Amino acid sequence: MPSDTLIDASLSSRLRSNRIGFQTIMIKEVTRLLRIWPQTIVPPVITTTLYFIIFGKVIGSRVGEMGGVPYMQFIVPGLVMMSVINSSYQNVVSSFFSSKFQRDVEEILISPMHNAAILLGYMAGGIARAMVIGTIVLLVSLLFVDTLSIYSVPITFSVALLTATLFSIAGFINAMLARKFDDVAIVPTFVLTPLTYLGGVFYSITLLPQPWETISRFNPIVYMVSAFRSGILKDRLDPAMIDMNLGFAFAVIVLFIVGLFSLTLWMLNRGIGLRT
Amino acid sequence: MNSVKALEINNLSKTYRDGTVALRGIDLVVEEGEFFGLLGPNGAGKSTTIGIMTSLVNKTGGTIRCFGVDLDEDPARVKRQIGLVPQEFNFNQFEPPEQIVMQQAGYYGLPRSVAGQRTEKYLRKMGLWDKRATSARMLSGGMKRRLMIARALVHEPKLLILDEPTAGVDIELRRATWSLLEEINAEGTTVILTTHYLEEAESLCRRIAIIDRGRVIENTDKKSLLSKLNIETFIFDLQSAAPAGLLLGGYTHRLTDSTTLEIDVLKEHSLNAVFEMLTTQDVNVMSMRNKANRLEELFVEMVEANEGQPSDG
């Protein structure tokens, strides 16, 4: 019964094996998010719709324009980005921590999969959820704005993808370090939400007085919101209202991804939070 | 004599962060094709040893080689050769058996077509094919155990490790599991079994190691191990009440009730003499059995003896 063909140690065999392993985790994650759609897809859409109604319709009508565009149009990119950030983070942190809690993560840990393939598999689930919800939120926004043309689809799409990638990794780190369900909620509540609200979703940080404007530049979410807003509104928005240079914003996001991905791989290799 | 070692553990040690010393330099060798028993009381270090072998626990020192491959040098290749049936249920209870086993095949890099065939093969073998679409949480305890065995076999490992696979299952299922494990071993898979049921180890394992307080205190073949047992107690069920003043010269004995006789037999003594003495006194024996599992008696003896040894932890 033992199969020697599986003990093929060649590089191509290992790559193929890891590709299948990665696909297995990715399919499992996407299946999970679709299976429990009332928990994974509906709530963020409802929350963001409420933001559109309250901040866009009720308050926005009194604000008027910001940077040459209606306030509702100004906040659409920020709200989409907020849902992308929360969805990617929440998907990975809840899924991986549940696996840790139920101990079925051991199925993966005892397998010959490379740690990078494991991480990429979970990230794929987070990215998938973020892109689905981001798209739905963008479509919902069309109910509240008269027109919403996208300045550059490649910029808009790539910023959303990179942001989802970054926060999927962050969610994975949170899940690795979490020991109880409370630990899963701490970072989103006390770190992610304040950073998102202060990340230029509802305003341009250029409107802030010093030293708050300078302090805000240390908030990585500012770079993502700004880059995403540029992708949608750059041709209409007052350049003074664009918080960050697009190239610099991309560089910062990529730098964070590389840094966090390397950190997570190191943690996985050491078994931090997973092995005793 | 087969020279390939399924498993070679050298000087394996583990100290947890809280300072608990779980393993104090364990050496073990398991030959290819063996049915090997790893016994020990609770907290002896059995599960820690298995955890290190399967990369679920970080070791503090020592080396592990599986079929000649060093775990530190090529963990993926070692992992590919091992199948693990853990002590506790560690699958997603909300997923059906077919999905659980298919996913495990995927983690081991099996193409989907192969994974599908193997999943059906092992779920059928475990009698779970009809339950393949039922949520795992709806399965009985025995079915869940069989599901974990199917999952461990799907990549057809050369070494199958089972950590107390029959804990809490009824006799019928335990016997069925034994048959299955014997069958798997007969097909060429090396099996390492930890168990609290010493009857299980005596029945299945050809070699046995006993771990206590992080040390291997015995590691030999079952026959040699049992030969160390100095005394065995047999229970005789008598046809009628034993006569008053029953004489069994040289044998310590006692009546637990009028028709049940317990006799202690030293290893160098024969049971023939016992039967002769009973026959001459018109005592008819209806049945006879060991009072306790032989291995259990030896196990208790060894662990108690080890308790007197100094601990360096």
The residues of B whose Cβ lies within 8 A of any Cβ of A are 16-17, 51, 54-58, 67, 74-77, 79-82, 84, 86, 88-93, 103-104, 106-112, 151, 153, 155-158, 184, 187-189
Residue A100 lies in a domain: yes
Task: Decide if A107 and B107 are in contact by the 8 Å CB cutoff.
Answer: yes
Residue A4 lies in a domain: no
C-alpha distances (whole Å) from B60 to each of B24, B49, B103 are: 10, 12, 31
Left, alpha or beta for B307 (phi > 0: left; psi -120 to 50: alpha)?
Answer: alpha
Q: Hey, which of A36-50, A205-219, A259-273, B30-44 has the most confident mean pLDDT?
A: A259-273
- pLDDT given at position A60: 77
Residue A1 lies in a domain: no
Residue A212 pLDDT > 80: yes
- What are the boundaries of each domain within chain B? 5-227, 231-296
Residue A276 lies in a domain: no
Among A1-5, A14-18, B108-112, B276-280, the minimum mean pLDDT is found in: A1-5
Q: What is the mean pLDDT of residues A242-265?
A: 91
Assembly ipTM: 0.86
- Structural domain harbouring A170: 11-270
What are the pLDDT digits (tens) for A147-206?
Answer: 778 889 999 999 999 999 999 999 999 999 999 888 988 888 888 888 988 888 888 888
Task: Decide if B57 and A276 are in contact by the 8 Å CB cutoff.
Answer: yes
How large is the greatest C-alpha to C-alpha distance in chain B, in angstroms?
Answer: 75
Residue A275 lies in a domain: no
Q: Which residues of chain B have pLDDT under 70?
A: 1-3, 168, 227-230, 292-298, 300-301, 306-313
More confident residue, A225 or A240: A225
Identify the closest residue of chain B to A118 by CA–CA distance.
B107
Residue entry with tokens 């076999």: B153
Query: Could you say which of B55, B108, B184 has the minimum Cβ distance to residue A109?
Result: B55
- Domain at B231-296: CATH code: 3.30.70.1560
Q: Helices (H) and strands (E) in chain B — how many of each? A: 10, 14
- pLDDT given at position A241: 76
Measured in whole angstroms, how far is the alpha carbon of residue B275 from the centre of its chain? 34
- pLDDT given at position B104: 96
The residues that bridge with B193 in the sheet, in sequence order, are B37, B162
What total number of domains does chain A contain?
Answer: 1
Interface of A with B in 80-119 (CB under 8 A): 99, 102-104, 106-114
- Domain at B5-227: CATH code: 3.40.50.300
Residue A2 lies in a domain: no
What are the pLDDT digits (tens) for A46-98?
Answer: 988 888 888 777 787 787 788 788 888 888 999 999 999 999 999 999 999 99
| Rg of chain B (C-alpha set) | 23
Instruction: Assess contact for A222 and A205: CB atoms under 8 A.
Output: yes
More confident residue, A82 or A9: A82
More confident residue, A49 or A264: A264
Identify the closest residue of chain A to B67 by CA–CA distance.
A7
User: Which residues have CB under 8 Å from A234's CB, separation 6+?
Assistant: A151, A152, A155, A242, A246
